[in-house]
């Protein structure tokens, strides 16, 4: 029997790989005092049924967790292995200590293998010296259940590479994508909220432009569209009100809540 509960979504960061302000840049956005123009690297926190799950662990993870008062992390779902999405992995250590347990991480086979190679010390108990993260890797190949919630990975194009987007009930998070293939689009119908890559106005080979992201959201029929992974070309107070109805730019700390149906909470898959 399904149980109704809330999915709480917090944008930990909505910046592109450099973050905004960009180091050394004096443009109007980088020198803006509007907090919505100050973007840490892209990452998301999801909470349901007492569990906390992150999507990615970017280099600003520590500051993001302090800002949001994060007390626990039960699992991390990875989109891909670009540095701006993984290099805060060591900042998971306090959550290992708080729970006294390993943290389960999920991603494509390719992502998980690469994380195991790059951060081998976090996965091999016997080699570990000092204060290391303790992670347990699970590669996903299709939908899986986590703490009672069905999670649907969707494969997206990201320049010449690929990335996983994820659907959680009527919500989906598609960061770092340049194209949504038809096989992914069929899994992204009837969304209440879609957070999608909308890097900047000008074209980029690995990311959707703002216009292309809005068009993709419309094609999918998402009711509320939030653009993320934003560069310093986006000036929130100047540009946000010019977006079409139902479309908005993300900002760090943006919080929303959705109703979801949980199956009986089950153990994470091996």
Query: Which DSSP helix (H) or strand (E) runs through 118?
Result: helix 109-118
Among 3, 27, 98, 237, binds Zn ion (CB under 5 A): 27
Whether 199 and 231 have beta carbons less than 8 Å apart is answered as yes
Residue 26 phi, psi (nearest 5): -110, 20
Report how far residue 188's alpha carbon sits from residue 190's, in angstroms, rounded to the nearest whole number: 7
Among 5, 30, 121, 265, binds Zn ion (CB under 5 A): 30
Q: Which of residues 76-95 bind Zn ion (CB under 5 A)?
A: 82, 84
Closest separation between CB of residue 197 and Zn ion, Å? Answer: 8
Among 232, 250, 252, 260, binds Zn ion (CB under 5 A): 232
Report how far residue 19's alpha carbon sits from residue 31's, in angstroms, rounded to the nearest whole number: 13
Closest separation between CB of residue 230 and Zn ion, Å? Answer: 11
Closest separation between CB of residue 39 and Zn ion, Å? Answer: 11
Closest separation between CB of residue 161 and Zn ion, Å? Answer: 8
CB-nearer residue toward Zn ion: 22 or 128: 22
Residue 25 binds Zn ion, judged by CB under 5 A? yes
List of residues 6+ apart from 167 with CB closer than 8 A: 151, 152, 153, 154, 187, 188, 191
- Strand duo 135-139 + 144-146: pairing: unpaired
Please report, as ranges, the residues that interact with Zn ion according to CB under 5 A: 22, 25, 27, 30, 82, 84, 176, 232
């Amino acid at each position: 029997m399904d149980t109704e509960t809330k999915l709480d979504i917090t944008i930990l960061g909505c910046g592109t790989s450099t973050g905004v302000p960009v180091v050394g840049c004096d443009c109007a956005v980088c020198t803006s005092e509007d907090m919505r123009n100050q973007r840490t690297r892209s990452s998301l926190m999801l909470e349901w049924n007492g569990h906390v799950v992150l999507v990615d662990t970017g280099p600003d993870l520590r500051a993001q967790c302090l800002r949001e008062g994060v007390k626990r992390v039960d699992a991390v779902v990875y989109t891909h292995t670009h540095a701006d999405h993984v290099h805060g992995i060591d900042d998971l250590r306090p959550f290992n200590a708080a729970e006294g347990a390993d943290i389960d991480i999920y991603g494509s086979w390719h992502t998980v293998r690469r994380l195991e190679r790059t951060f081998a010390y976090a996965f091999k108990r016997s080699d570990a010296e000092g204060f290391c993260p303790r992670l347990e890797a699970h590669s996903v190949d299709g939908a899986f259940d986590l703490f009672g919630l069905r999670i649907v990975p969707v494969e997206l194009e990201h320049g010449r590479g690929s990335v996983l987007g994820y659907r959680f009930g009527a919500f989906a998070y598609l960061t770092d994508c340049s194209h949504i293939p038809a096989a992914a689009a069929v899994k992204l119908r009837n969304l209440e909220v879609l957070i999608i890559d909308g890097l900047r106005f000008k074209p980029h080979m690995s990311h959707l432009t703002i216009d292309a992201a809005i068009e993709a959201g419309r094609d999918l029929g998402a009711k509320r569209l939030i653009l993320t992974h934003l560069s310093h070309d986006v000036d929130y107070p100047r540009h946000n009100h010019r977006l079409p109805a139902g479309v908005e730019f993300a900002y760090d700390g943006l919080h929303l809540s959705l109703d979801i149906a949980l199956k009986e909470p089950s153990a994470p898959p091996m």
